[in-house]
Structure formats: structure tokens, C-alpha cells
Amino acid sequence: MSFLRGSANYVWCTTSVLGKGATGAVFQGVNKNNGEPVAVKTFNQISHMRPHDVQVREFEVLKKVKHENIVKLLAIEEEQEGRGKVIVMELCTGGSLFNILDDPENTYGLQEEEFLLVVEHLSAGMKHLRDNNLVHRDLKPGNIMKFISDDGTTIYKLTDFGAARELEEDQQFMSLYGTEEYLHPDMYERAVLKKPVGKTFGATVDLWSIGVTLYHVATGNLPFRPYGGRRNKETMYYITAKKASGVISGIQSTESGPIEWSKELPNNCQLSAGIKKLVTPLLGGLLEVDPQRIWNFERFFNEVTNILSRKLIHIFHVNNLQMIRVYLHPEETYDELQNLLTEQTDITPQNQILLLKEKPLLSIVEETTLGKGYPKFDEMEPIMLFSKENNNVNVILENDGPKFPSFQNTISVESDASLGKVACSVGHVCKRKIEKISKASKFCHNCVQSFTTAISNDLDRVVAKSEKLKEMTKYVERTVFSTVQADKATKALTDFMSIKYSDSNDNFKGNELSNEFSVLSRELLSELGPAIQQLHQRYGVEKTLKQEWVKLVKTLNCPMETRAPARARTLVERLRDSWQHLLRDRASRSLTYNDEQFHVLERIKVGETGKRLKNLLELECQPEITQLADALADWYKVAQTVYLQARILDKDVDAYEKCLEDFATKHSYYHKNSLFKLQETIEKLKNEILDLKGKKKPAKNETEYFQSFMNSLSDMIAIQNEISLYLKDNSSLVYEFQQLLRNLPLNNDQTDK
């Protein structure tokens, strides 16, 4: 008997089974023309006994759908030797989500990125079905295939349209399809409990199945689990039909025991708090029995679009060395990011210090930048979140995970294979913990680097600002001096000429202002300035914080450097190899003497490898990260103080700048007043002199020459003036002075000759 089957363009071997169902089987086949591998679905006798319109329905549906997230139909051909029609489809080499979830790597659900890919592709495929008014009626992990494209990227695709049919959203159907764990309670009631309820079902039954599927993909487990599993049908119905709104799982862990209801995803799943917050309501909306509250497809597609459009931001929380994921809405801004962080960390927005590499996050995005305008962030270069208030570092070790199993003394190929798989599950959990610790230890070093450089840059900035203020202070000082001198001169002249001005408060305040200025400028020059210089010298120039850290971690190992994650991966691979060995032993059913010897050795190896992995985690990586956390806490206590000091000095400098500006503004008035008074006094003096001398006409020539000379000098003085805007008021004084010179009795003297 030949296992070879074929159609016009394809050939397959009945030994290469990809899957089997009630109405037929799927085999891996090959295109005869180019050798391309394909999947071939054949139909059995039972299927041919169905009504003709039901038989052709699958072909019709497949011909109608054409979407990246639905397995592509390549051909419908007649099988040779008249065995009927076969469906040839593209081959999804990644297997089904059922196979993937069955891998011990995914015992606690898929990783976040992969989970979101499933959500994206599943909903896109469903959207295409809805757009074509199709209902699938048998959605479950086993019918979602992983297609690995030539360029290595993954595409999930819906398959098996054996139960599908056309159905408008408001239309109903009567027939029963689907797989019981994923069935809507109403369908379950009739199909599994065989109750003649007479209900019809709408397209939304697919939504319930999507809910169960997504819960399964997110957690590795079914949401509704009666004790005893499938056998306990009444409890299954009770759990699904009677659960409260918002409840997304119900578990009965003892016979006839109570149901543990939960509105949350379990802790051991691989999803972050950030994504759980978005996915939990989605699951709640899908797993809804109340026809009033149940979501429609539009709502589902919108919510998925909302989740997928968010910007993923990776944050490293320094106080507990944990990675945080924040999904920022495309239309929301920095404020919301801070709020989302407060939710996950209890650090209030005003106490958050957010650094990306060595810069404040706000130097990379603006406060008003929308989420969609944020750059793409790299998980390996997270934003560092420090707290202004809290300088403790407490690493969370998560030691409540599953434990490695022990084998029984007697050999049982059944139980050994299962225990081997459990060991692999636990191994994967350990490995992920080690990877997490290793990343955390790397980020621990990175955050010190970021913070140190940020402080150093900050101090550079404060120093530059204070230097500029010193310059400004010097200029103001000069004008104050000028006021004082002008006052002094005016005083001398008025005393000499016995003038007395009406005693306004604005007169002769030079000394008073000078004293006020002394007090003000002393703050900068003898307090603020030296303090800034000192801090800058220590933490900007001498890099004391960096040295401090180097000293603290000199003797510590970092899991990243000891290649702990690579070692963990090797050990997990070894566990998986052993598991595969035990699986083969189970498949062979009876072991030869030789096989049994090696079976026992493989069990020993599983035990030893598990122990090594446990030790790597608990005796190496965890103590290392704990020590690193202690070092970081010691370091951050200093660094935080420096940071806060720098902040205070920065504020003080700003405050001083404000005071100086206020003083300069106020003083500018007095300065003008003083100069005006002096000018006025000189005018009086001039008049007095002219009065004294009597008016004589100056000799024409000499006067002109002398004025020309004076003009030259005044030109030169004018040039000087130009270069100092600060002293521009003085120039009017100088001008007065020149005017005075021009009119001085000199001319008269010459006419005396």
C-alpha cells in the first residue's frame, strides 16, 4: 500500500499529517512544478455525507476571502483515484497557536510582543471576515496558524473554514459548531448539554471565542476551568453563564468546590502591568454573557486599534530595578506619561526624574509632544526613572515561582515525560528571571552613568549661569559706583556753590543703594558662587560620583558580564533535549534494556540540570543583583543629595538673577537722577562762571581750532561709550562735561593775551 496521494499539481504522503478533524485531515504536500511545500486538506467519508450545500460552503467561503491574516487558498483540485476534492493552502511552518501554547516555553502564555501580534493579526483577519459578512464559528488557538514568511517575520492566519458561513451581523443561525472550551455559553448549553433551548445565535458568538482564545494566549490557560475539565460540563456551563460582568476567569480547584472568580489576569503571565491594564477590559468586554452589555465587533475593532496605536515606552524604575512598560495614547502627552508612571510606581509626577541616556526626557520630547510624535524607544535603552524623594533600592526577587519537579523512584514513561515538560516550563521561568536580572544589572550600571553625566551637565550649566551673573554684577557695580561718585561730585559742587536742592527722597541715595547692592552681591560672590564652584569641582570636574560607583562595584559580579543569560539558555536547551528524549521514550511505549538505562540517565540529567539552573538563579544571579542593589542604594543616597543641591543652587541662582534685575531696574532710575542732578549743577556752575567773567566775544580762529581739537577728543570718547551699553548713561555725563569744556572761560583767557 502506497502512502502517496496526488492531484493534478500537488503530491502528498499520508504519513505527513499536520492535523486531523471530524471531517478530514490536513497533510504536508508539495507542488509538483516547483517543489514548494503546501498544506493539503482532504475530506473523509463522514464529510461526504453532509448536505451538498454544506459541503461546498467551505470552498465558497475560501474563494471569497483574501487577506494576509487568513490562510491563502492555492487551489481546489480533484484527488487522483476519485477520492473527491482537496483544498490546497499555503503551509504555515510555525504550526498552530495550540502547538505553540503547548510548548513549555509558553506554559504561562506568550510574551507581550507576540501576544500583541496575535491580537493584531487575529482582529485584522476577523475584520476581513466581518467585512464579507462571514462568521467563522470555530475560532480557537488550533485554528490560528503561525506563518513564517521568507524574510523571517511572523504572520498569524485564521484557518479552517469548515464551520464558517455567510451571516449578516443581525442575522441568526441555528446549527451547532465549535470546540466546547471556546463556545459561547448559549451554544454550549445546546451543543454540549444537549438542552433543546431553541435559541438562535448571532455573529457575536465569534467574539466570545476570541475572548477565550486571547485569555488562553495571554496566560497559557483556559479562563473557565471546572474541576475535572471537560467531564464537568454542568459546572462549565455554570461558570460561563453565571459569571458576573467583568469577570474574566473562573476556576474550580476542588471537586464540587467553590469557583475562584477573577477580574484580573494572573500574576504569572508574561504580560506587563502596562498592557494588562488595556487588555483586561478587552477580555471583559468579549467574555460577556449579558446581551445588553456584550461588545459588538465595531467596539472590539476600535479597542484593538486603540491598544495597538499606543506608543510603547520602556522605563527602568531605579528604586526596585524593575522594567516598566507604559503604553502612551497617540493623542496624549508628557503629563499622562507621568500619571501612568505614578500608577505603576507611586512616584508622584513632581518627584519623577526621567532621563534618556544622559539627557532629561524633556530635552528629547516637549511637554506638549503627542504620544504619536514620540520617538521609537529601544527596550535595551530604557528611560531611567529616579525618585527625588526615595533613595532606597529594593530589588524584587520573585521567589514564588513554580519549583522543579522530582521524578518518582519507579520509571513511568507517561509521568516522566510530563515531569520533563514541567521541568522545561520551570526552566523557562528561571531563564526569564535570569535574563531579567541580567538586564536589570546592566541598567543599574547605565542609570549610574546617565545620572552622573546628567548631574555633571547640570552643574556645568549652573556654573555658566553664575559666571554670567558675576559679569552682570560687575557692570551693575560700576553704575552704582558711578551714582555714588556723581552724588559725591554734586554734593561737593553744591556745597561749594551753596545751592540747596529741595530735599526729595530721590536725591543722594547713592550710598544707601551702594550698601543695598553690597548685601545683594555678597550673596552671589561669597555664598552662592563658591558653593556652586565647590559642587562643580567635586561632581563635575573630579567625577567623584563615578569614582564612588567604581569603588562600590569593584568586587561585584554583573550577570551580564558572567554571561548568565547565555548559560541559562544552554541549560534550558539541555532540559528541552532531555524532555524530547523522554517524549520519544513515551512514544515508543516499551523500552529495551538499553533504552531504559539511558531513560534513567536522562531523568538524572533533568534533575542535575534543573539544580544547576536553580543555583544559577538563586545562588549566583539573585545574590549578585541584591549586592548591586545595595551598592546602588549607597550610591544614590549621595547622588540624590548632589542632584538636589544642584537643583537648589540652580534655583538660588535664578532667584539672585531676579533680584539683580530688580535692583538694576530700580537703580537705573536713581542713576539717571544722580546724573541729571550733576548735569544741572554743572549748568549752574557754568552760568555762574560766565556771569563772573562777563561775556566776551572769543577770538574767532583760536576758538575754532580748539573746538576742533575738543571734537576730536569727544569723538574718541564717543567710541569708548559705544562699546558699553551698560554705561550709556555715563556718556551723557561725559557729553555734559564736553559741553562744559567748550564753554569754559579758556577762550576768554586767550582773548586776554
* Binding of residue 725 to a second copy (CB under 8 A): no
On the 0-12 / 13-18 / 19+ scale of CB atoms within 10 A, 104 is buried
- Quickly tell me which residue has 482537496 as its cell: 86
* 9-48 binders of a second copy (CB under 8 A): 11, 13, 30, 32-36
Residue closest to 380 by CA, chosen among 323, 453, 448: 323
Backbone angles phi, psi at 101, to 5 degrees: -70, -20
- 3-class DSSP state for residue 262? strand
Options 563, 651, 658, 672; binder of a second copy; rule CB under 8 A: 563
* Binding of residue 527 to a second copy (CB under 8 A): no
By rule CB under 8 A, what string of x and - marks binding of each residue 157-176 to a second copy? --------------------
CB 692 to a second copy: min, Å:
6
CB 68 to a second copy: min, Å:
16
C-alpha cell at 428: 523557562
C-beta of 407 vs 635, nearer to a second copy = 407
* Binding of residue 727 to a second copy (CB under 8 A): yes
Q: Which stretch binds a second copy (CB under 8 A): 207-215, 236-244, 630-638, 720-728?
A: 720-728
C-beta of 525 vs 744, nearer to a second copy = 744
Options 53, 81, 150, 378; binder of a second copy; rule CB under 8 A: 150
- Quickly tell me which residue has 459546572 as its cell: 235
Strand partners, 75: 88
Q: Which stretch binds a second copy (CB under 8 A): 424-432, 502-510, 527-535, 559-567?
A: 559-567
* 595-614 binders of a second copy (CB under 8 A): 597-598, 601-609
* Binding of residue 737 to a second copy (CB under 8 A): yes
For 454-518, give the DSSP string.
HHHHHHHHHHHHHHHHHHHHHHHHHHHHHHHHHHHHHHHHHHHHT------TTTT-HHHHHHHHH
* 41 labeled part of a ligand binding site: yes
C-beta of 213 vs 679, nearer to a second copy = 679
* Pair type for strands 322-328 and 311-317: antiparallel
C-alpha cell at 51: 448536505
* Pair type for strands 73-78 and 154-158: unpaired
* Binding of residue 498 to a second copy (CB under 8 A): no
* 684-713 binders of a second copy (CB under 8 A): 689, 692-693, 701-702, 705-706, 708-709, 712-713
> How many other β-carbons are positioned within 10 Å of the β-carbon of residue 100?
20
* 435-464 binders of a second copy (CB under 8 A): none
Q: Which stretch binds a second copy (CB under 8 A): 103-111, 200-208, 394-402, 722-730?
A: 722-730
Alpha-carbon gap, residue 96 to 120, rounded angstroms: 16
- Quickly tell me which residue has 503571565 as its cell: 269
Alpha-carbon gap, residue 443 to 457, rounded angstroms: 20
C-beta of 267 vs 408, nearer to a second copy = 408
C-beta of 489 vs 659, nearer to a second copy = 489
C-beta of 172 vs 406, nearer to a second copy = 406
- Candidates 53, 102, 131, 138; catalytic one: 138
Residue closest to 481 by CA, chosen among 507, 528, 518: 518
Rounded to 10°, the helix 413-497/728-743 angle is: 20
* 606-665 binders of a second copy (CB under 8 A): 606-609
C-beta of 433 vs 599, nearer to a second copy = 599
Q: Which stretch binds a second copy (CB under 8 A): 43-51, 266-274, 412-420, 592-600?
A: 592-600
* Pair type for strands 37-43 and 352-356: unpaired
CB 379 to a second copy: min, Å:
18
C-beta of 588 vs 724, nearer to a second copy = 724
* Binding of residue 569 to a second copy (CB under 8 A): yes
* Binding of residue 584 to a second copy (CB under 8 A): no
Q: Which stretch binds a second copy (CB under 8 A): 263-271, 303-311, 617-625, 724-732?
A: 724-732
C-beta of 336 vs 702, nearer to a second copy = 702
Options 163, 328, 437, 571; binder of a second copy; rule CB under 8 A: 571
- 3-class DSSP state for residue 19? strand
Length of the chain in residues, anyone? Answer: 753
E runs forming strands in 213-348: 224-225, 249-252, 259-262, 311-317, 322-328
* Binding of residue 153 to a second copy (CB under 8 A): yes
Q: Which stretch binds a second copy (CB under 8 A): 72-80, 591-599, 631-639, 640-648?
A: 591-599
C-beta of 35 vs 196, nearer to a second copy = 35
CB 14 to a second copy: min, Å:
10
On the 0-12 / 13-18 / 19+ scale of CB atoms within 10 A, 723 is exposed
* Binding of residue 556 to a second copy (CB under 8 A): no
Number of residues that bind a second copy (CB under 8 A): 82
Options 152, 196, 258, 291; binder of a second copy; rule CB under 8 A: 152
Catalytic status, residue 170: no
* 531-550 binders of a second copy (CB under 8 A): none
* Binding of residue 318 to a second copy (CB under 8 A): no
DSSP state, 247? Answer: -
* Binding of residue 502 to a second copy (CB under 8 A): no
E runs forming strands in 382-462: 383-387
Alpha-carbon gap, residue 256 to 265, rounded angstroms: 24
Alpha-carbon gap, residue 174 to 192, rounded angstroms: 14
Alpha-carbon gap, residue 743 to 753, rounded angstroms: 18
CB 32 to a second copy: min, Å:
7
Measured in Å, how far apart are the chain's first and last C-alpha atoms? 148
* Binding of residue 745 to a second copy (CB under 8 A): yes
DSSP state, 23? Answer: S
* 469-488 binders of a second copy (CB under 8 A): 478, 481-482, 485-486, 488
Helix H, strand E, coil C: the string for 622-640 is: HHHHHHHHHHHHHHHHHHH
**Residues of each annotated binding site for ATP:** 41
**Residues of each annotated binding site:** 41
> Could you list the active site residues?
138
